[in-house]
Structure 1
Amino acid sequence: MKLMVQVRLLPTPVQGAALEATLRACNEAATWASGVAFEKDVKNNFALREHTYRQVKDRWGLGAQAAQHVIKKTCDAYATLKANLKAGNLGKPGSKRYRRAVEKPIAFRPQGAQSYDDRMLSWQIADRRVSIWTTAGRVKDVAFTASPEQLATLALYRKGESDLLERDGMWFLNAICEVPEAPQNTDPVDFLGIDLGIVNIATTSDGEIMAGRELNRVRARERTLRTKLQKKNTPSAKRRLRKRRRKEARRARDINHKIAKHVVAEAERTGRGIALEDLTGIRERVRLRKPQRATHSSWSFHQLGQFIAYKARKAGVPVMHVDPAYTSRTCAECGHTDKANRVSQAWFACRYCGFVDHADRNGSRNIRARAWELWRRGAQSTAPAPPPEHVRRGGAGRKRSITTSDARCASPSL
């Protein structure tokens, strides 16, 4: 399976200036090529080259390989846009968001990621150095830092392109690695049910609860601070907002990685599969009071599900997604379903048999039972295959790939 290993570059000021000029030139060229593709309605890679290749090379001083990658990035962005429109991710045809997406060409951020193949980028992994093409010529001996696990993965499995990107003044390379998968367990002894929530991020059918109090407190504090800084609207407040803008997301991502690694390790150790709720479209199905909307919108259940799925696929653990309907109202002991069974957010009490349990633990047991029943009927694992190349690039220079963070993940202490 394909994974991204992200390493941080440590360029000198001169090297950093060359990298910045290169990214800016590539993204300006991609924005221009996007305008040509939009105007002439040419979204195919080879067809668009006929209209843009020579101009991209001459006007922005790009090499042959860089020019081809710029054109390919433009076509990939339109392919991603087409897929999102077809899936309804940008609203219904004719809606304001839909029209805004289709009525003008795609524009690329000046610091958007740029692809490099092995002709443009060479790795000296043992020395922790790379040699990289720029518009100012080949820049050699650019240092990078990575964990021992990341270095081993790069040395053994790196294959294909790498992406250069800049974020908050820091430089990164995302390298594609073809990591072998473990043989899938085709005969699990049972399933480990996982109930996903906001108050408790994940609750297993074994009774283990990963509470979200710490993360929710951080999110509430960050929202309050953002509100205060936006009201001030001073230069120092804006600087602080820029500095903190990704802090909450990084913390949530780190916690999700830890939970996912712990869950997959437990399932692998006990020879079980993993059962998850299929929560697709839950934000469109529910209506919330205004004070609850921010909390619900920041609920990263999809990211946690993705992390569990790809780690399980790597470990050979089967994954089943089940219908979550009424799992919180159904008794895991007798099967009686009643809205009154859910007496509070935290507690479940069956009106028929008197069974009492933590509500999320009861729900996870129902999820486990549904997955086991589906598996016995012959259903296959739903652990996803790696996304297509243009989806991994995320359109207009934005990265949506899964990057390896396993090196810094430990069992959750939540």
Structure 2
Amino acid sequence: MKLVVQVRVLPTPVQAKALEVTLRACNEAANWASGVAFEKGVKSNFALREHTYTEIKARWGLGAQAAQHVIKKTCDAYSTLRANLKAGNLGRPGSKRYRRASGKPVAFRADSAQPYDDRMLSWRIPERRVSVWTASGRVKDVAFTASPEQLVTLALYRRGESDLVCRDGMWFLLATCEVPEAPLNTDPCDFLGIDLGIVNIATTSDGEIMAGRELNRIRVRERKLRTRLQQKNTPSAKRRLKRRRRKEARRAKDINHKIAKHVVAEAERTGRGIALEHLTGIRERVRLRKPQRATHSSWSFHQLGAFIAYKARRAGVPVVYVDPAYTSRTCAECGHIDRANRVSQAWFACRSCGFVDHADRNGSRNIRARAWELWRRGAQSTAPDPAPEPGRGTGRKHSTTASGARCASPSL
């Protein structure tokens, strides 16, 4: 399976300037190539190369490999745009948003990522140094830092391209690694149901509750701070906003990684599979009052589900996706379904048998029971591929079982 390892690059001021000039030149060339592709209607790699390759090398002074990667990056961007238009992610055909997206060339920011292959980027992993091609020549002995686990993964499994990224004045390399998967456990003894939520980020069918109250309080505080800074609209306020713009996302990502790692480790230790709800499109299906919309929209359940899925696949733990309908209203003991069963956000009390439990734990038990039933019927499932990086394709295929559970089959 493919994983992306992100390492922090620590260039000197002179090296950083060379990298900055290179990124700017590559993205200016990509913008020009995008305009040619849009004007001539040529958006395949080899066809676009005939129109742009020589000009890119002459005008921007890029090497042969860099010019080819600029053209390929442009074609990949148009492929992504076509996929989004076809999937309806940019509105219906003929809508204002659809026309705005399809009626102009794809544009690249000055600091957009640039792919590097092994001819342009050489790794010296034990010394934590890389040699990078730039528009002004080869820059050697560029330092980078990574954790011991990342260094081992890079040394053993790095394959293919790496992307050079500049983010908030910091430099990163995103290296593609082909990590072997553990053999899939085709005979799990049971399933560990996971109920994802806002107040409680994840609740397992074992009764373990990973609460998100502290995270939600931090989000509210950050949202109020952003509002005050936006209202001030001074240069110092804008600088503070820029520094803090990704802080909340980094915190949520770190928490999701820790929860996913814990859940997968517990399932692997006990020989069980993992049961998740198929929550695609839930934001469009749920109506909320205005005060609740910001909290609901910042709920990163999809990211947590993706982390659980790829960590499970790496560990050989099977994952089954079930229909989430009525899991919060169904009694895990007698199966009685009633809206009144859900007494409050935290408590569930069955109107038929009198069973009382924590509401999220009751829901996770229903998820576990549905997954186990599907598995016994033969609706086996493996964890889907990790979400692709921007501009990259995905080999994920889906099938839907007769009972409504969406099971992901491994990419071919």
Q: Secondary structure at the match of 2:175?
A: strand
The alpha-carbon deviation at position 385 of structure 1 amounts to 3.0
Q: Give the superposition deviation at 1:382.
A: 4.0
Equivalent residue, structure 2, for 1:10: 10
The aligned residue for residue 361 of structure 1 is 361
Deviation at 1:86, TM superposition (A): 1.4
1:302 — aligned with what?
302
- Structure 1 counterpart of 2:259, which letter? I
Once the two structures are TM-superposed, the CA of residue 386 in structure 1 deviates from its matched residue by: 5.0
CA distance in 2, matches of 1:256, 1:93: 36
Q: How does 1:17-28 map to 2 (within 5 A)?
A: 17-28=17-28
Q: How does 1:213-228 map to 2 (within 5 A)?
A: 213-228=213-228
Distance 1:135 1:284 in 2: 46
Correspondence 1:374 to 2:374: yes
The separation in 1 between residues aligned to 2:180 and 2:153, in whole angstroms, is 11
Aligned to 2:391: 394
Greater displacement, 287-296 / 260-269: 287-296
- Aligned twin of 2:408: none
SS at 1:9 equivalent: strand
Q: Which residue of 2 aligns with 1:269?
A: 269
**How many residue pairs end up in the alignment?**
394
2: CA distance, partners of 1:343 / 1:394:
45
CA deviations 1:209-258 (Å, max 9, x no partner) are 00001110111011000000000000000000000000000000000000
Deviation at 1:367, TM superposition (A): 0.3
Q: CA RMSD in A?
A: 1.2
2:317 paired with 1:320: no
Residue type of the partner of 2:145?
Answer: T
Q: CA deviation at 1:316?
A: 0.2
1:208 aligns with 2:208: yes
Unaligned runs of 5+ in 2: 395-412
Cα deviation, residue 297, structure 1: 0.7
Taking structure 1 as the reference length, what is the TM-score of the superposition?
Answer: 0.94
Q: What TM-score, normalized to structure 2?
A: 0.94
Query: 2:329: which partner in 1?
Result: 329
- SS of equivalent to 1:53: helix
> Aligned partners of 2:83, 2:352: CA distance in 1, in Å?
48
Matching of residues 92-103 of structure 1 within 5 Å = 92-103=92-103
The answer to whether residue 246 in structure 2 is matched with residue 249 in structure 1 is no
Residues in 1 aligned to 2:200 and 2:386: alpha-carbon distance in whole angstroms: 28
Q: CA deviation at 1:393?
A: 3.5
* In 2, Cα distance between equivalents of 1:386 and 1:64: 32
Q: Indicate the residue corresponding to 2:341 in structure 1.
A: 341
- 1:392 deviation in Å? 2.5
After TM superposition, the structure 1 = structure 2 runs for residues 229-248 of structure 1, keeping only pairs within 5 Å, are: 229-248=229-248
Q: Is the 8 A contact 1:188 1:271 kept in 2?
A: yes
Q: Please give the alpha-carbon distance, in whole angstroms, between the structure 2 residues aligned to 1:386 and 1:45.
A: 25
- C-alpha offsets along residues 253-305 of structure 1, whole Å, 9 cap, x if unaligned? 00000000000000000000000000001111111111111111111010000
Tell me if the contact between 2:312 and 2:383 (Cα under 8 Å) persists in the aligned partners: yes
Q: Which residue of 2 aligns with 1:278?
A: 278
Q: What is the CA deviation profile of residues 345-392 of structure 1, one whole-angstrom value per residue up to 9, with x for unaligned ones?
A: 1100000000000000000000000000110111121411356xxx52
Please list the CA deviations of residues 78-126 of structure 1 after superposition, one character each: whole Å capped at 9, or x if unmatched.
1111111111111211222222211111100111110000000000111
Match of 2:398 in 1: none
Return the letter of the residue paired with 2:207: G
**Matched AA of 1:197:** G
Stretches of 4+ moved more than 6 A in 1?
Answer: none
State the alpha-carbon separation in 2 of the partners of residues 359 and 386 from structure 1.
30
Match of 2:146, as an amino acid? A
Gaps of 5+ in 1: 401-414
User: Sequence identity, in percent?
Assistant: 85
SS at match of 1:166: strand
**1:336 deviation in Å?**
0.3
Residue in structure 2 matched with residue 404 of structure 1 by the alignment: none
CA distance in 2, matches of 1:92, 1:281: 16
Deviation at 1:317, TM superposition (A): 0.2
SS at match of 1:393: coil
Listed as ranges, the matches of 1:134-149 within 5 Å are 134-149=134-149
